Copies of this chain bind each other. A is one copy, B any other.
Amino acid sequence: MLSQETAPEATGSATTAAAFLRLLRSRAVVRRYTDEPVADALLAELLDVMPTAPTAANKQAWAFVAVRDPYAVRCLRAFAPGMIGLPPLVVAACFDRDRAVREDSGSQDTGLLCVAMAVQNLLLAAHASGLGGCPVSSFSRTAVHRLLALPHHLEPVLLVPVGHPAAPVRPSARRDRDEVIHHDVWTSPTAASAGP
């Protein structure tokens, strides 16, 4: 088993919380990268946070392949129209069908959501470390399966290019808060009174 933190002493402090919330809000998609590689120690740190994500029924129905070999990265990118820049690192986040919560559920399993949460951990860790990335779902499943020599039960869900941003990171605009967040019920008085 992975060694785990047993003393989350850092939580609850107002300063830590404020800094953490700022980091969460300032993360943004990074699609173009410099040539700077991702060093071994940093890669280990980025990968370590992925399996700490929530896991439905403790199935841990995930697997991750970290690709830094430049030729392998180019091959992946050739089959991933959603990947724009050439990154020094691509992490393929896979769903493990053999560990599905519901055996008959195909790819709609809750475990898929856990893979997405693990990817968010990776993106946040990258952002905290001065790097950036982008979850890519537009790629050839068949090609990626073959390129990474994945066993049959592993389904690539997201490719995540990660690297040092080639330009400053700017969060994009979001829909109005009142449009996406409601209180107690969808048609709440608060929501109604917020209209024009």
Contact = CB atoms under 8 A, between A and B. Distances in A.
B23 A180 contact: no
A178 to B, nearest CB: 10
A190 to B, nearest CB: 11
Interface size class of A (residues with CB under 8 A): 35 or more
A162 interface: no
A134 B57 CA distance: 11
A25 B12 contact: no
B180 A24 contact: no
A175 B26 contact: no
A195 to B, nearest CB: 15
Given A8-B26, A11-B169, A48-B177, 16 more contacts: A8-B171, A11-B23, A16-B23, A17-B129, A20-B124, A24-B52, A52-B171, A52-B174, A53-B120, A60-B180, A64-B181, A107-B108, A110-B137, A117-B123, A120-B120, A150-B186
